[in-house]
Structure 1
Amino acid sequence: MYGIEAAANYYYSTTAANLSLAQAASLVAIVNNPVKFQLDKPDSETNGVANGFEANHVRRDYILDRMLEFKKITKEEHDAAIAEPVSPAITEPSTGCQTAGNAAYFCDYVTHILQNDPAFGESADERFLNFRRGGYDVYTTLDLDLQAAAQQAIDQNVPYTFPGWDVGAVISSVQVGTGRVLAMAQNKHYSQDPAVVAGRADYTGINYNTDYDYGGSSGFQPGSSYKVFTLAEWLATGHSYSERVDSRRKSNWGAFRDSCLGTQIADPGWNPRNDAGEAGGNYSALESTIGSINTGFLGMAKLLDQCHIAEKAQAFGVHRADGDPLVQFPSAVLGINEVAPLSMATAFAGIANNGLACTPIAIDRIVDRDGNEVPVPKSTCTQAVSPEVAAGMHYGLRRVMTSGTGSQSNGALAPWAPAIGKTGTTDGAKDTWMVGASTSVATAAAVVSVTGDANQRGLYFDSGQAATARHRMWPMVMSVANAKYGGGTFTEDGPGAVAPRSGDFESYSPPAPSTPPAQPGPPAAPVPADIGRDGLSDLGGRATNGPNDPVGR
């Protein structure tokens, strides 16, 4: 029990301001010897109901006598308080996020903000005391309609436990343009009691939606949903969707430029494949985006800077959940950094907001016991990419939803609104993601392996295949969001370049085809002048993903 406000609530079912003089003196009496004078042991022989809480009563009257002696109260006030019996009205405190129902993990996130953010105190100790003693009324960003939809989407599609698999399901929703966290749910019952959690796979105190410092999770690999940051850098440096790259499957990817950490060399023998086993060729950037082609994005990354790709992710608010720097290996292009679902929802909200990324917030306002407003953390919005680049991203990510890997989610929206999105599947279908946004709300939905591995394509819930549960969850939430917040038309620009070519712009030149020795014959026909925007013809074919790397889609 911390503070007079909490004590008044617990012992007398009222507020500190509304305590009678006698009640206040009884609470002060407890401080002298909490065990001897406590009022919540009605069966106590020395201080219980049978003897009128005698021990506390005597101590209370002593305090009242002293107050009269030092003229803190009048004789009339003293006598009236002395005549009042000690009659506690115990109200079990509604404390702890386990009382927050389906919003328990969002509640947990808010408590971590109150204990971590410097806005609530300079030191951890000061923040903790302010949190426990402040008497705050905290008004949060949670949208009860979206939260109910998020929990229902999980409950209807992913079980809390599954034989032989430590399954997790998460949903985070963020408002576009404000950073307000609207929903946060997962497929576990919440408890911070080790005795409750022990041996119970359906209980956890870890919030899978957030960073380690804000809920205990080290994050999950987002797979191909992370490719949007390579796409952002591709468009920002002057490349276009119509450009083609070397997207053949190979085990000699070699060097990748990195202006921060030095050249990144792909491990010898690293031979990433694509999700549907595509064999390779020279995909265009648009084909790679719509079809989530791993080798296509690696071919794009070969013409870019790994450092700048990581910086694009960071500009949109994405970081490793464990607090370490984002890794910049070649495989990072395919989404091997463990991140929080909330970070991915925040990033897509920034993409939808014409490239203006806003940091997530969960608290709208706080009022203290005296009715004063307490300053709260504000969302900070920065331009992650130019509006022109964002329009280019919209062009590709809209087509992911209408004709690509996100079409199943897109088709299930009711009411429908235009959406951008990207799917993600990690190696062996261990984790599966659907991340997308309207112009109003962004949502990340994922089914993950909390520990261990499981191929979701070979597993089935009552609702259907585990690997497609993301496509059943995401539209349930976004349909409610569309009905409540609406959704407008995205700015779109493509398939041509949307930005000037940067100074380090590189393009791909396909190798010359091998030819047999020249034979006598007529002169070769002239090469047509109009072979294509980038001097490349479509070589056809489709590109495949090796061990320990995300497999796309």
Structure 2
Amino acid sequence: MTILKGLAYAALLSILALIVAVAVATAYLPSYADLTKRSDLGQMIRVRAANGQVLVSMGPSFGQWLTYDRIPPEMRAAMISTEDRRFRSHIGIDPIGIGRALASAFASGHRVQATSTITQQLARNIFLTNNRSFVRKIKEAILAMAVERKFSKDQVLELYLNRVYFGGGAYGIDAASRKFFGHGADHLSLGEAAIIAGLVKAPSNYSPSADVEAARSRSGVVLQTMVRNGFITAQTAAAVDPAKVRIQQTTSQNSVRYFTDWALPQLDTLIDQTSEPIDVWTTLDPAMQVAADRAIRANAPDGTQGALVAIDRDGAVRAMVGGKDYVSSIYNRATQAVRQPGSAFKLFVYLSALESGMKPTDTIIDEPVTIDGWSPRNSTRTNLGPVTLREAFSRSINTISAKIGAQVGFSTIADMARRFGITTPISTYPSMVLGSSDVRLVDMTRAFASVSNKGVAVTPYGIRRVVTADGRMLYQHEADEERVLVAPWVAAEMTDLLQSAVLSGTGRAAQIGRPVAGKTGTTSSNKDGWFIGFSSGLTTGVWMGRDDARPVGGLQGGTAPARAFHDFMSVAVANRPVEQFETQVPMPDWQLTPEEQMFGDQAIDANDMQPMVDENGMPLGTPPAQEPPQQQPMVRPDGTGEPSQQELDQAFPPQPQRQPANPRQRQPQPQDSVPPPDPSQPRPGAP
């Protein structure tokens, strides 16, 4: 009797303690309005392409919050039948379900199976963790009863259906419906509701995006459960064919992830830290990205990797591929890898030459040369003798690049590379002219884009704007202040050289039926192949090689990389206007003689830089050999007759003849050739 009394007192005290605990928990529960905010689940980041298409969702994905009356009855019935068939009658915990679970465990000798109600799951998801412990189950039960005490059944079900996790980052039925079926949850059919309800037990196992057949099979079980629990008739269930439920195909996020991995870290410097959902609008063009991925996969030799970057004239990155397969390797070879560029580095060699006063038509002798004990050889193992600067660049003649380096200074070339955005260390040894210093593909592509932009710096960017879910603007990209890297005529002359390399030089495989300017690059033993070029305002860089830098038989810049450039650009610029390159630029006033300024800015052709001539073949501004015959007699301003010779001399004093000061206006002479360096004399620009 004493034992029974003791047990009764203990039970009474336990009940009182439970009541007090529930009352206290109820008092401390957040308001219903606070629970409808889902920021506690983590930050949702949707990354969008330039056309608004969602490229990838990072973190949790939320759809619209659906109030109870907007949730389809089929969805409410499917969830209650599957997860908690006595939901409408229990107090937050299900004593009948708990009793059955204990009896089953005692009979079988196994552990007690989970018996959490919808309310318990909601309490656990919001306030607790998923660790399996007796203390956590007690807390869960107390919180569930507090939730039922504070909120109505309809409110509890609304909270649950809008917050429960359905896999794939989707929280709530609306996010799940949009992810798997492509429409909001307020239009769910019975078959679709059955698929979503079946996900709660094991989202990863039954997710339609992971295993469509498993999801459809699970939905059949849900439908039969609804029949057994009286929510639908057997005829209604039989009318639903899970195989006919249309599952939305998920877009491939393979190569796109190279771009998002590069762009998203920039958010730390663009916006203040926030936990609210945001949409990140990027510069990526989905069609170009598909074409880029296809071009790399189709052209990169077996056993090699490939990378591609496409930059628009304003710096917007339109496509980025960092490797053949993101799933097998997340290493971004477009932005992280540093490799030798080979002859693609000659861009900076010839930019330095042109800026120093050389012209595409200047003649230099291709001959054996030795600089500080270094003797470069041409890939053909031959020497051509006198060649123009244009031909030397087009044929990628190494000895000419070495001579230019000796003349303008190797440190000058290194400074030019840094000026154009090369961020990796640049050597100043003579061999640097052949691309012996490691660079990144994105930096090299940026440099070529700046040449295409008439010598004005181009800064790559990937994020256009960032907005919150309610449309509040957090960041808007603004164009950088123009920064001139080289004079416009230097960029025009460089474009002329780059165009010749594609028309008749090593880059012929990159031709796409419209003007293209570019340069190939091949390193020793064919370890790396490059092609970087531009057309119609789009600059594209391609690299191919092995990650372990082993030789690749037959790999040259003018083969696989140039073909990949061709395949990509043929698609990328197909809808853009054909643009002719500007190889005629006006000379600045400070480089014109007074006589030339009288005629205005005369156009100088970067193809040959010849002086403009008149209809008689004489250079403009050249004084005539004799006074031309006058059709009408000259008269004084007051009309009193012809002026005397003395009056004419006073009005028009004779001008001394002079040669144009600008070296670009003289005819190329044989003495313009660069002589071999004298080992006994100090070398200009020597490191």
Q: Which TM-score band (shorter chain)?
A: 0.5 to 0.7
CA contact (8 A) 2:362 2:388 kept: yes
Give the aligned partner of residue 494 of structure 1.
606
Give the aligned partner of residue 195 of structure 1.
none
How far is 1:316 from its partner?
2.4
CA contact (8 A) 1:245 1:300 kept: no
Matched, 1:206 2:331: yes
How far is 1:104 from its partner?
1.9
Q: What is the distance in 2 between the residues matched to 1:433 and 1:480?
A: 20
Q: What is the distance in 1 between the residues matched to 2:315 and 2:671?
A: 42
Compared CA separation, residues 90 and 297, structure 1 to 2 (3 A):
same
List aligned pairs for 1:72-471, cutoff 5 A. 80-82=154-156, 86=160, 88=164, 90-93=166-169, 100-115=253-268, 118-121=269-272, 130=274, 133-158=275-300, 162=303, 167-176=304-313, 178-191=314-327, 203-210=328-335, 217-245=336-364, 247-250=366-369, 252-254=370-372, 268=373, 270-279=374-383, 281-320=385-424, 325-376=425-476, 378-380=478-480, 381-410=482-511, 413=512, 416-457=513-554, 468-471=559-562
Q: What is the distance in 1 between the residues matched to 2:321 and 2:298?
A: 13
Give the aligned partner of residue 34 of structure 1.
129
Q: What is the distance in 1 between the residues matched to 2:281 and 2:493?
A: 37
How far is 1:307 from its partner?
2.9
How far is 1:434 from its partner?
1.1
RMSD: 4.0
Tell me the TM-score normalised to structure 1 length.
0.67
Q: What is the distance in 2 between the residues matched to 1:498 and 1:109?
A: 46
Q: What is the distance in 1 between the residues matched to 2:497 and 2:324?
A: 35
How far is 1:446 from its partner?
2.0
Q: What is the distance in 2 between the residues matched to 1:478 and 1:536?
A: 42
CA contact (8 A) 1:290 1:403 kept: yes
How far is 1:134 from its partner?
4.3
Cα deviation, 1:322-352, whole Å, max 9, x if unaligned, reads xxx3222222211122222122222222111
CA contact (8 A) 2:344 2:519 kept: yes
| Partner amino acid, structure 2, of 1:450 | D
Give the aligned partner of residue 108 of structure 2.
none
> How many residues get paired?
424
| Partner amino acid, structure 2, of 1:468 | T
Helix, strand or coil at the partner of 2:358: coil
How far is 1:467 from its partner?
6.8
Q: What is the distance in 2 between the residues matched to 1:174 and 1:431?
A: 21
How far is 1:305 from its partner?
2.8
Helix, strand or coil at the partner of 2:460: coil
Compared CA separation, residues 466 and 497, structure 1 to 2 (3 A):
closer
User: Bigger relative contact order, structure 1 or 2, given CA contacts below 8 A and separation 6+?
Assistant: 1
How far is 1:496 from its partner?
4.7
How far is 1:99 from its partner?
6.2
How far is 1:61 from its partner?
4.6
CA contact (8 A) 2:533 2:539 kept: yes
How far is 1:498 from its partner?
9.9
Give the aligned partner of residue 542 of structure 1.
none
Q: What is the distance in 1 between the residues matched to 2:325 and 2:142?
A: 45
Q: What is the distance in 1 between the residues matched to 2:542 and 2:58?
A: 39
CA contact (8 A) 1:13 1:89 kept: no
Q: Percent identity?
A: 26
Give the aligned partner of residue 62 of structure 1.
146
CA contact (8 A) 2:520 2:530 kept: yes
Q: What is the distance in 2 between the residues matched to 1:222 and 1:466?
A: 10
Q: What is the distance in 1 between the residues matched to 2:446 and 2:58?
A: 39
How far is 1:245 from its partner?
3.6
CA contact (8 A) 1:247 1:299 kept: no
CA contact (8 A) 2:323 2:329 kept: no
Q: What is the distance in 2 between the residues matched to 1:286 and 1:247?
A: 13
Cα deviation, 1:346-377, whole Å, max 9, x if unaligned, reads 22221111111210011111112332112255
CA contact (8 A) 2:348 2:416 kept: yes
How far is 1:287 from its partner?
1.9
Give the aligned partner of residue 4 of structure 1.
41
Q: What is the distance in 1 between the residues matched to 2:63 and 2:539?
A: 40
Cα deviation, 1:151-170, whole Å, max 9, x if unaligned, reads 111222225x52xxxx2111
Helix, strand or coil at the partner of 1:423: strand
Q: What is the distance in 1 between the residues matched to 2:492 and 2:119?
A: 63
Helix, strand or coil at the partner of 2:255: helix
Q: What is the distance in 1 between the residues matched to 2:307 and 2:342?
A: 15
Compared CA separation, residues 61 and 377, structure 1 to 2 (3 A):
farther
How far is 1:17 from its partner?
5.3
Helix, strand or coil at the partner of 1:456: coil
Which structure would you say has the larger Rg?
A: 2
Matched, 1:534 2:669: yes
CA contact (8 A) 2:351 2:490 kept: yes
Helix, strand or coil at the partner of 2:575: helix
Compared CA separation, residues 271 and 305, structure 1 to 2 (3 A):
closer
Helix, strand or coil at the partner of 1:442: strand
How far is 1:253 from its partner?
0.4
Cα deviation, 1:129-181, whole Å, max 9, x if unaligned, reads x4xx442211111111111111111222225x52xxxx2111111112x1000
Q: Give the ranges of 4+ consecutive aligned residues of structure 1 lying more than 6 Å apart after TM superposition.
A: 7-13, 19-28, 44-47
Compared CA separation, residues 319 and 107, structure 1 to 2 (3 A):
same
Helix, strand or coil at the partner of 1:349: helix
| Partner amino acid, structure 2, of 1:120 | I
CA contact (8 A) 1:417 1:486 kept: no
Compared CA separation, residues 86 and 387, structure 1 to 2 (3 A):
closer
Cα deviation, 1:213-239, whole Å, max 9, x if unaligned, reads xxxx23111111111111111111211
Answer with 340-349 or 3-12: which moved more.
3-12
CA contact (8 A) 2:300 2:560 kept: yes
5+ residue gaps, structure 2, are 1-37, 46-56, 70-91, 93-117, 171-178, 180-249, 584-604, 612-666, 675-687
CA contact (8 A) 1:274 1:295 kept: yes
Tell me the TM-score normalised to structure 2 length.
0.55
5+ residue gaps, structure 1, are 38-43, 48-52, 69-76, 192-202, 211-216, 255-267, 460-464, 500-531, 540-553
| Partner amino acid, structure 2, of 1:181 | V
Give the aligned partner of residue 507 of structure 1.
none
Give the aligned partner of residue 32 of structure 2.
none
How far is 1:113 from its partner?
2.4
Q: What is the distance in 2 between the residues matched to 1:292 and 1:305?
A: 19
How far is 1:63 from its partner?
5.5
Answer with 8-17 or 140-149: which moved more.
8-17
